[in-house]
Amino acid sequence: MPAIRLADRLLAEWVRRREEAAGHPQDCSEADAAGIRAGGDLAARIVERARALPGSDARLALIRRLLRAARVLAGLCVVVAGLAGAAAASSALSASTPASLPLVLLVVVSFNLLTLLLWLVLQPLSDRMPPGLGALLDRLSLAYARRIAGGGDADTASLLRTLSDGGLGRWYAAAVVHAAWLAFAVGAALALALLLSVRAYALSWETTLLDDAALTTWARVFSICPALFGIAGAETLPVTEANAARQGWSLWLLAASVVYGVLPRALALAASLFMLWRSQRALAGDLSRPGFARLRARLLPDHAELGTVDPAPPAPVPTAARAAPPAVLQGRVHGLSLEGDAGEASPVLPGVDWVWLGSVDDATSRAAVLHQLRDDTVDALAICVRATLTPDRGIERFVAELASAARAPTTLLLDGLDRLRARGEAAFAQRIDDWRQLAQRCGVAILHA
Amino acid sequence: MNGAKTIEIAVVGHTNTGKTSLLRTLSRDTRFGEVSDRPATTRDVRGVLLLADGEPVVALYDTPGLEDAMGVSALLAEQHADAADPVAAVEVFLAGDHGNGRYEQEAKVLRQMLRSDAALYVVDAREPVRAKHREELRLLAACGKPLLPVLNFVASGEADAGTWRAQLARLGLHVLAEFDTVVYDARAERSVFERLASLLEDRRADFERLQASREREREALIDAACRAVAELLVDAAGARRHGALDADSESLHEQLRDAIRGAEQRCVDTLLGLFRFELDAYIPPALPLQQGRWQLDAFDPQTLRHFGIRTGSAAAAGGAAGLAVDAAVGGMSLGAAALLGAGIGAGWSALRSFGQPWLDRLRGEQRIALEEPTLALLAARQCLLLRALLRRGHASQDRVHTDTPQGWPSEALRQAVLRCRAHPEWSRLNGSADGSVPAPVLRHLVASVRALLN
């Protein structure tokens, strides 16, 4: 899968910020479809969706404009710093005759090294730094970005926040500063190399304040690093009579400007670029962000509807409801429990003299009861049934068969109402109504305590 | 798909046992089909594909309920007794007029059974085992496909899973699963797929792939949900409103309350959206927000502690000494003494933490923030909601109910949230602040929320 471009990642982050602030993802089925079409993992789909949202072209153009401006700014810094380095080196070299090695070193290397050390020291403290130069630069660059973005609305502000957030702004600033100092050091080293190659300079290690012994010590200290690269320094070259070995010292000067100026900055730049690259990769990559995670169901669905594979038959023609006959539960009443427990006793009802047929469940007991009802003289029939039972077609058919076999007033007696009521009032009312309709269709009375 | 076709599973059972509910919960889709506590709610056969990483693995088919298996069995015995085997008898029945159209619904079920690789027989475990169930199982067995009984509503007090197990064993069905479609249990869901895999051994790898993908996805959702709660708490803890000292403080409080209510509602929407429940499933009652507090009033010990830790780590023990003096004089000279005691480094921390209120007062401004009990309430409620959602099946039709929260859900969370109180710059509710919490702080908060879910 090709790497996602920075502008696209920024766009996806920008969209997430907007959607999280709104509280819900923007509904745009075309964009969702584009994300699904893109395939790949969720991160790739999120980016593709962001690109397909309405208005994204303009936003992407704005992001590209800002990124271009950032690159131009960085380039400008590098060029100016490079020229400054060359100018500083040549003026330090020409400042006095003979040219002072400590002065050249001071100009070419020391500020560079000092600011680098300061930067290193402040890294762990960056969160609790008082607002200083960095914050001022930050504010200036934000103002600059705002001017390029051409507006101070909330949407643009959220883009600028995206740009400066998550280490992106911090490592971009670090990389630009390091690149500028690197350009300064390279410019200085090149200028030194050029001038020392084409002009004759007298070189000296002289100072006003330090005596010879101290100067020698300093020269030896500064020679340690170049010596690591095999460049001869104060150990072998004369310090007090430096001009006598000016070829050796000029080579040493070049090496020192590279070792103390170019190398550390190159390392710091590499580290900052790596961190910047990591911050860029982290954009639109943290799927535990709620704004991204919410898109999972839309862009990487875990199920898909297959629709109807076998359509419903035409709705049954409702049977004309017969007038519900009155419940007859007096005197001699045949009774049975439909789908009740085996050996279930008859309910106790005042004034009822039960002919109890027991519990009826399977096909055999059903056939036996129908047979008995047809043979007996039945004055009235009561069918006890649990109200929690779902009144289905099978029950309806059997109740109708029982009523017609009995040829007598039949009553459906609902019990277990407490259990039904425990499922909620709405469920209770619904189920009672379903039973009533079933009773009506079968032409039997219904009674529930 | 490993080149194999999707595994086709019919979901069958008596009417009103929760077949459509099972599909809703397995597909996490509250809108699949129609669900009601009535017979014959589903009258057609509808399918849903379960995908693993975007690829179809299992197709589930929701069928109408069996209502009159006895009638169908009687018809089969009467008219197709001469068929070569039970499957042939079912095929002849399907080719006929289904008892003059009386058994259209049952015919759809049997047709889908014959088309499928296996079937889930959904049982309402609250109902007693009856002859009609035995008849249904005999009829389904006649289709010659592996059948896995799934006991639904097992979380209900009325359920009698033991009797069902015993009765199903008597019918030769020893492998079954318990899965409540209303009260969700991830382990129960896994057991459904595991049992299916043991019935369709040659497709085990596909089931495992599906299950792995579903578990990964759920983990990711829970992570995101915990993060949403954590971010709400950071936002609320750092929320500030300020206005002129002589302005109407009630309107400031109202502004803060509105901001917090809005943030809480967004968090609730996010949680429901993540787990794909309808957005009206939970409505938080109005926040019993306490009076937002004056930060200049008695310095809160928590914030003090925070301050002490920060100066201690930043610069010097002198800062702590200065603090002790300040505590003795009631915090009135806090900023100044800390400055003297700790030097510039700690002094800057002091200014950042405590200089602001003094600056505000000098400027003639008042500034309010949330009281701790309100933060505790927000934390407790979101954690309860999250826990309730993790246990909610997509077939559930009731609104989400949460218990009345009792204080902080845990001490770890309390500590983590109170740390954020001194950081209005982390909150997204303060307009200009960019609301970026340091990653370790957020991770710690998320872990504290996550720990409450187990």
Taking the CA atoms of B307, B308, B309 and B312 in sequence, report the sign of the dihedral they define.
positive
B381-428, pLDDT tens digit by residue?
A: 888 888 888 888 887 777 776 666 667 888 999 999 988 888 888 888
> Which residues 63-122 of B are in CB contact (within 8 Å) with A?
64-65, 67-71, 73-74, 101, 104-105, 108, 111-112
Residue ranges covered by each domain of chain A: 57-282, 331-448
Q: Which is higher by pLDDT, B283 or B161?
A: B161
**Model confidence at B6: pLDDT above 60:** yes
3-state secondary structure of B46: strand
The interface predicted TM-score (ipTM) is 0.77
Tell me: the pLDDT tens digits for A338-388? 988 877 888 888 888 888 988 888 888 999 999 999 998 889 999 999 998
| Element at A122 (helix H, strand E) | helix A111-122
Instruction: With cut-offs at 50, 70 and 90, classify the pLDDT of residue B78.
Output: confident
Q: Is the pLDDT of residue A130 over 80?
A: no
Nearest to A296 among B112, B217, B269 (CB): B217
Q: What is the pLDDT of residue A169?
A: 79
Give the residue on B whose Cα is nearest the Cα of A286: B224
Checking if the pLDDT of B298 tops 50, the result is: no
Average pLDDT of the segment spanning B45-55: 91
Q: Is the pLDDT of residue B314 over 50?
A: no
Where is B75: in which H helix or E strand?
A: helix B69-79
The pLDDT assigned to B432 comes to 57
A138 touches chain B (CB under 8 A): no
pLDDT at A224: 87
Nearest CA to A330 out of A346, A350, A352 is that of A352
B280 touches chain A (CB under 8 A): no
Show Cβ contacts of residue A207 under 8 Å, excluding neighbours closer than 6 positions. A100, A102, A215
Q: Give the residue with greater pLDDT, B65 vs B341.
A: B65
| Residue A369: CB atoms within 10 Å | 22
Where does B7-199 sit in CATH, by number?
3.40.50.300
Which residues of chain A are within 8 Å of residue B112 when distances are taken between CB atoms? 309-310
Portion of chain A with pLDDT greater than 70, in percent:
91
Domain with CATH 3.40.50.300 in chain B: 7-199
Q: How confident is the model at residue B297 (pLDDT cuts 50, 70, 90)?
A: very low
Q: What's the whole-model pTM score?
A: 0.79
| Domain topology for A331-448 | Rossmann fold (3.40.50)
Whether cis (ω within 30° of 0) applies to the bond prior to A98 is yes
In Å, how far are A11, A300, B52, B264 from A49, measured between CA atoms? 10, 12, 21, 27
pLDDT digits (tens, 9 = 90+) for B320-369: 333 333 333 333 333 343 344 334 444 444 555 555 656 665 666 677 78
Instruction: Test A363 with B128 for CB contact under 8 angstroms.
Output: no
Measured CA to CA in angstroms, residue B241 lies from B244, B298, B369 at distances of: 11, 18, 7
